[in-house]
Amino acid sequence: MRNQPGRPGGPLVGVRIIDVTHAAAGPYASMMLADLGADVIKVEPPQGELTRFAPPFLPEDHERFYGGRFANRNRNKRSIVLDLATDEDREVFLQLVETADGLVENLRGGVLDRLGVGWDACRARNPRLVYAAIRGFGDARTGASPYAAWPAYDVVAQAMGGVVATTGPDAEHPLRAGPLVGDLVPGLMAALGLVSAVLHARAAGEGQFLDVAMVDAVMSLGEPAQSSWDYLGRDYPPSGNALDDVTPFDVYRTADGHCAIAAPTEAMWRLLCTAIDRPECVEDPRTATNAARVANRVLVDEIVGGWAATRTSAEVLEVLGGQIPVGPVYRARDWIGEPHVVAREMLVPLEHPHHRTTTTLGCPIKLTATPAVLYRGPPRLDEHGAELRAELAARHQPQP
């Protein structure tokens, strides 16, 4: 991952996206497009985007142009303030739409339509535009959900999409997953859908409307639960860090932390038994097959967990790494200097003109010919307003 201030890169250079988003799902979608080279123009109301002034802030950042979450989701973008309740700024917005390949928004359904800048108005100004909407329950244009007018957040999408019911130690203690999967997975799918539709628009000369419902996106992750119900008529229970049909496949305590260890196949089990100096477990009828190990899960956990508990996480990795799927449980602090993270450039220093350099997560999409580039920090509110208005004015000047 390269950090080259002022120099965009990636396969989407030359693509322009209008970003009318807030919170997490929409900003994350447009962030991915910006990382891959798109010119993303963030349109903000006069008071700024919802999370712009939310914590955390750097202790030395007394001006507080933006908080940490906003900074991570809005890098590589340009900001312009437009009050879409006014005729003048609506016209500026639609002029920007004329220059764009795509638009992303995650406001409640009908908000932009009532302001006169929704899908119909945008399509009238730019028939090649791809308009991507992210909403809790989708948009009536693609399927009229009875909940279409309901607001939604990550926890609602996780609950209705099946993640909460299959996460946690048992059925009586369902848990929301820690990361904002109810926001970020829909964001990824909207970005993929938009790029796909832009390819079609460039070939066919015709844009289109697309939407991603947060609940739908999370549901699409639920293949194990759906298969269990459809094939067997059985709920897929939450099982903590384990799986109910294979073992060992769990997170085990070590002398100084925890490690995930998975050896679900017979070949891996044999390797694991050799590595932890328990060769007798290969032929033991209680542990010789996966079915036997599942039936004797407590015994298997005692064997594997007992071995891991007497060693540090580093020692577990030294013994099992490269043979058995194994990995330590990391916190954010543990990523710093970690060889894989360094090699994959997944922590990137990002310079800011008004406070110290911060570290942001890198783009996980690695391309050999057109790699993603972090070239611009998050914008201050309306930082690029004059610049963008000048571009539009130049575009509309009469040609000699």
**pLDDT score recorded for residue 360:** 96
Give the three-class secondary structure for 235: coil
Identify the pLDDT of residue 396: 81
Structure confidence by residue, pLDDT tens digits, 34-55:
999 999 999 999 999 999 999 9
For residue 256, pLDDT beyond 60:
yes
What's the Cα-to-Cα distance from 344 to each of 30, 104, 134, 318, 331, rounded to whole Å? Answer: 22, 29, 30, 21, 17
Q: Residue 115 — pLDDT band, cuts 50, 70, 90?
A: very high
Q: Report the chain's C-alpha Rg in angstroms.
A: 25
Average pLDDT, the chain: 95
pLDDT in tens, 81-91: 999 999 999 99
The pLDDT value given to residue 269 = 97
In which band, very low, low, confident or very high, does the pLDDT at 399 lie, cut at 50, 70 and 90? low
Residue 3: pLDDT band (50, 70, 90) is low
Domains, the chain, with CATH or none: 2-221+337-395 (3.40.50.10540), 258-328 (3.30.1540.10)
Query: What was the pLDDT predicted at 353?
Result: 84
Q: Inter-axis angle of helices 266-275 and 313-320, to 10 degrees?
A: 120
395 CB-near residues (< 8 Å, 6+ apart): 95, 99
- The C-alpha angle 368, 364, 38, rounded to 5 degrees, equals 75
Instruction: For residues 378-385, give the mean pLDDT.
Output: 96
pLDDT of residue 400: 64
Query: For position 354, what pLDDT does the model report?
Result: 81
Per-residue pLDDT band at 398 (split at 50, 70, 90): confident
Pair of tokens at residue 122:
């945008």
CA dist list (Å): 273 to 263, 266, 278, 328: 10, 10, 5, 20
Instruction: Dump pLDDT digits (tens) for 103-114.
Output: 999 999 999 999
**Residues carrying an active site annotation:** 183
Tell me how far apart the alpha carbons of residues 1 and 3 are, in angstroms, rounded to a whole number: 7
**How many angstroms from the chain centroid is the CA of residue 183?**
7
Q: What per-residue confidence (pLDDT) applies to 352?
A: 87
Q: Can you give the pLDDT at residue 42?
A: 98
pLDDT, average across residues 138-160: 95
Q: How far is residue 122 from each of residues 18, 30, 34, 112, 266, measured CA to CA in Å? A: 11, 18, 21, 10, 58
Pairing mode of beta strands 326-328, 258-262: antiparallel
User: How far, in Å, CA of 80 to CA of 49, rounded?
Assistant: 11
Residue 6 has pLDDT above 70, yes or no: no
Examine the pLDDT at 206 and tell me if it is beyond 90.
yes
Beta strands in the chain (DSSP E): 2-3, 16-20, 39-44, 77-81, 102-105, 130-135, 208-213, 249-253, 258-262, 326-328, 347-350, 358-361, 373-374
Distance between CA 162 and CA 119 in Å, rounded? Answer: 31
Condensed to tens digits (0 to 9), the pLDDT of residues 269-327 reads: 999 999 999 999 999 999 999 999 999 999 999 999 999 999 999 999 999 999 999 99
Q: What percent of the chain has pLDDT over 70?
A: 98
pLDDT(155) > 70: yes
Cα separation, 54 vs 155, whole angstroms: 19
pLDDT surpasses 60 at 1: no
Beta-carbon contacts of 57 under 8 Å, excluding residues fewer than 6 positions away, are: 64, 67, 68
